[in-house]
Each structure stands twice: as C-alpha cells, then as structure tokens.
Chains A and B, each alone.
Chain A
Amino acid sequence: GNSVTQMEGPVTLSEEAFLTINCTYTATGYPSLFWYVQYPGEGLQLLLKATKADDKGSNKGFEATYRKETTSFHLEKGSVQVSDSAVYFCALKFSGGYNKLIFGAGTRLAVHP
C-alpha cells in the first residue's frame, strides 16, 4: 500500500546546526509530496511541496527535493533557529486518492540556543 516513513525523533540540535529529516515513501503511481510543520499548540501548516520528480520545494530556508529513484523527500535546512522547534510531517497525495493526505509519523525537532 501507500505509506510514508520518517526518521524517528526527537531530533535535538544547537542553533545554527544543519538539519536533515529523512522521509521515504511507497506509492503506486507518482504522488505529490509535502512537508507540513506543527508548532506547539497549533495546527499543521504547509511548509513546502513538490509535485513531480526532481522538483525542489523551498520555504523559510527549508528545502526538499523529490527523488523518484530513491523514493525520498528529505527535509534540509542549513542553519536552524530556536523558532524552528516543532513537529515536522512528511506526506504524500496522489490523483487517485480522493485528495487524501497520507502522513508519516512525524519528527519532533528541538533547537537549543
């Protein structure tokens, strides 16, 4: 079936460190891929997306590239800030899926000064 696997957290980093959160997927067909972020006490917000192979999504210094050959969509940021502390969800959606998002388990990121 269709699924998303994320690296387990929590991930703890110091401010200005490099961030990678791994995400791989299994899907029939060619899905769109998303990263959503959930700040403490809030709902999910779209962080970035990519709709086809080799697309790079970017926003707020975060980047992720849709890699069809490795079925991956890893999230990266060159220099994290305390304000980036949140839970990050990788998700996929495909045209035949009635608009349903399939989420990974989420990765909690804690950034310390």
Chain B
Amino acid sequence: EAQVTQNPRYLITVTGKKLTVTCSQNMNHEYMSWYRQDPGLGLRQIYYSMNVEVTDKGDVPEGYKVSRKEKRNFPLILESPSPNQTSLYFCASSSLAGGWGNIQYFGAGTRLSVL
C-alpha cells in the first residue's frame, strides 16, 4: 500500500529539548515536504526536498532543520523547540513527473506540544 508514514503521532516536550519527527514514503517519490497546520492559517511549508541531498527552505523555516540522506526518508529536526512551534505537522511526498498537476500524498500528521 502506498503511504507516507510519520512518527510519532503525538508528542509533548519541553522548551529546548531537541526532537526529531520522522517521515518515510514507499512510493519512490523524488519530492518530499514538511508543512505545519495552524488554525486560521491553513498549511504552510517549512522545508522541501527535490531529491536526495537537495533541500531548501519553504515559507516558515525558522527553528527547523531537515536532511535527505535517503530517498524514502525526510526527518524534521527541532534543535531547540519553543512554544510557538506547537502545531500539527504534516509530511508529504510526490513524484515530479507529470508537471504541476501531480498529486502530493500526506502522512497522518504529528501533533506537537512544546511546554
């Protein structure tokens, strides 16, 4: 079954304690992306990757890091989480074939609370 898997689904942490949210896809997609979802703002892109070792900032990258060492994995790293990073996070992936009509597939989300 084609899927994007995020872990953990729920996470409560404290300010300053480094954490990693993992994302893995089994569709051999080139493109992967992280979004955060906040009430009234929809989803906003944090970082994206066009392929292995190719990553770039999205609209709200501050306080986040990513890496893409393997095609299937795209972890999101919060080196020193702060309360304003409390949010719902989604990982997405897509093929780059088919132009701008191609479909992005989303994980089930990670709800993060930073105290």
Complex contact B104–A101 (CB within 8 A) = yes
Q: Does chain A have a CB within 8 A of B45?
A: yes
Q: Does chain A have a CB within 8 A of B74?
A: no
Cα–Cα, bound, A65→B1 (Å): 31
Interface residues on B, range: 20 to 34
**Which of A45, A51, A94, A101 has the most B CB atoms < 10 Å from its CB?**
A101
> Quick one: closest A residue to B41, CB to CB?
A105
Complex contact B42–A31 (CB within 8 A) = no
Of the stretches B65-73, B77-85, B106-114, the one at the interface is: B106-114
Min distance, Cβ A83 to any Cβ of chain B, angstroms: 18
**Which of A42, A89, A98, A104 has the most B CB atoms < 10 Å from its CB?**
A98
* A84-102 contacts to B (CB < 8 Å): 89, 93-95, 97-101
Cα–Cα, bound, A84→B13 (Å): 34
Min distance, Cβ B31 to any Cβ of chain A, angstroms: 5
Q: Name 10 A/B residue pairs within 8 A (Cβ), A-sorted.
A: A32-B101, A49-B103, A93-B100, A98-B48, A98-B56, A99-B31, A99-B96, A100-B45, A101-B92, A103-B35
Residues of A within 8 A of B (CB): 4, 31-32, 36, 41-46, 49, 51, 89, 93-95, 97-101, 103-106
Residues of B within 8 A of A (CB): 4, 31, 33, 35, 40-45, 48, 50, 56, 58, 90, 92, 94, 96, 99-104, 106-109
